[in-house]
Amino acid sequence: MIQLKEIRQQSGLSLKAMAHIVGVSKGHYCRLENGEQVLSKNQEERIKSALFFRSKNESRLSASFDWVSLHFKTCDVEEVVRKILKLKLSEFSLEDYARYHYSKLYHYGAVNVYVDEKDAIHGVLLELSGQACRELEKTLEEQGRDWYDLFNDCFVFEVELRDTSVLSLIDNKEAQENMTYFNMTRLDIALDEFYSEQGNYKLLDLFERFHAGLVMTKKRSYSSQMGGQYTQTGLVNDGLTLYLGRPQSTPFFRFYEKDAEQAKKLNSTVETIHDLYGFKNRFEVILRGDRAGDFIKDYVLNYFDIAERTVGIINDNLLVFSDFEGHLDEDWYDLMHSTGAYHFETKPKEMDVNRTWTWAEKNILPTMAFLKKDDQEKFEELLSASKIPKRYEHYLEQKEKNAPKNENKNHLRSK
């Protein structure tokens, strides 16, 4: 049964927009959401067609970059932004704080760029979280580029830095030749197994095999975490996570039930996460330092399949048996070893404001309603004096530019 209110809130839609999708009036939709009327099969299909997750391929695993950190030994942050991201620094917002001992932090949506203005060795750090990777993929798509082009540009830029940097003036010739001006400091690759009504791999099976001694691994450290909460129906699984290796080791592995993780994060149900996003399990491979740099250098030189190579890293570090007779776990290797079972995918996204609306609806708007009722004049004065962050200004500008193309789409949010 479709949970209408939860689906609507998680999608960031207003009552009016949801009614438009269902094909009824706003009043009629409100009665459907409140349970006063029953959703018809046709109306249910309209919702599924418009909002529910649909896999674009037949592969069981979809790979994507979930964290990318690029370091350049230069103080010229403007040049890094121009040559690597093909953007202008003026398009970025300057924060009034920084981290990692850098002097300044610029951001473009979720993309963070740190700079040390005095120390070229510390230089510039380009940091991309999972959300930032999705936003950058949208920018790359608009530029007619992809990840390969971006990484290749990094190595080309390194040659330019080596030729022009004052660091090249050091007397030791051998040190000059060995000095690097670009480093990949961290690379996280996520393998997502999407929810299937035909069944998914049970991460609990892998957990039990670890504890039974049926998993051979190169890693000396293994740990697990299982969340849970007691309800009227008993203990409910909050999500299982398996860690292989120490956090600072490379490669480090984290396997977890992403549907449960997202349900907890978004205060939703696992069923809704399956419907809207298609998540089930996630298998993360985290590379640091030279391992991350060698992976990308090899990718630029040989243009290999990233998903296949990532699955190979997992299989090289993990051997899973179903019993002590030497039989391999067929379910695990159906997922991790089948030809054509995986592929690398980019998932370009504009800045995500739906989650901002959902968060505001649950956390901010009730307080704002109270403040407005308490002192409307003061409330309106403060609201009119508030400044919109630059990243949201950029989003609104893009939305206004694209308005003629999307005039038939209703993106009104809940008040």
Q: What is the mean pLDDT of residues 231-260?
A: 81
Query: According to the model, what pLDDT value does residue 232 have?
Result: 52
Furthest-apart CA atoms within the chain: distance in Å: 82
Residue predicted with more confidence, 384 or 65:
65
Q: Please, are residues 255 and 281 in contact by the beta-carbon 8 Å criterion?
A: yes
Query: According to the model, what pLDDT value does residue 52 have?
Result: 67
Q: What is the mean pLDDT of residues 66-88?
A: 96
Q: How confident is the model at residue 339 (pLDDT cuts 50, 70, 90)?
A: very low
Residue type, 26: K
Q: Name the residue ranges covered by the structural domains of the chain.
A: 4-51, 74-179, 187-344
Query: According to the model, what pLDDT value does residue 68 have?
Result: 97
Both structure tokens of 198: 């035909």
Distance CA 43, CA 51 (A): 12
Residues 121-134 pLDDT 10s: 999 999 999 999 99
Residues 13-68 pLDDT 10s: 788 878 888 888 888 888 888 888 888 888 887 887 777 655 555 557 889 999 99
Is the pLDDT at 252 greater than 60, yes or no? yes
Distance CA 333, CA 351 (A): 36
Classified by CATH at the fold level, domain 4-51 comes out as 434 Repressor (Amino-terminal Domain) (1.10.260)
> Quick one: which of 191, 247, 188 has its CA closest to 68?
188
Query: According to the model, what pLDDT value does residue 405 have?
Result: 45
CA angle, residues 107, 112, 113, in degrees to nearest 5: 95
CA angle, residues 231, 232, 234, in degrees to nearest 5: 65
> Quick one: which of 339, 287, 346, 376 has its CA closest to 58?
339
Q: What is the mean pLDDT of residues 172-199?
A: 82
Who's near 223: CB < 8 A, 6+ residues apart?
242, 243
> Quick one: which of 147, 168, 148, 150 has its CA closest to 159?
168
Who's near 396: CB < 8 A, 6+ residues apart?
388
First vs last C-alpha separation in the chain: 26
- Across 135-290, where does the E strand assignment appear? 182-194, 215-217, 222-231, 234-244, 252-257, 279-288
Neighbours of 168 (CB within 10 A): 13
Share of the chain above pLDDT 90, in %: 37
Determine how β-strand 342-344 pairs with β-strand 61-72. Answer: parallel
Q: Please, are residues 33 and 5 in contact by the beta-carbon 8 Å criterion?
A: yes
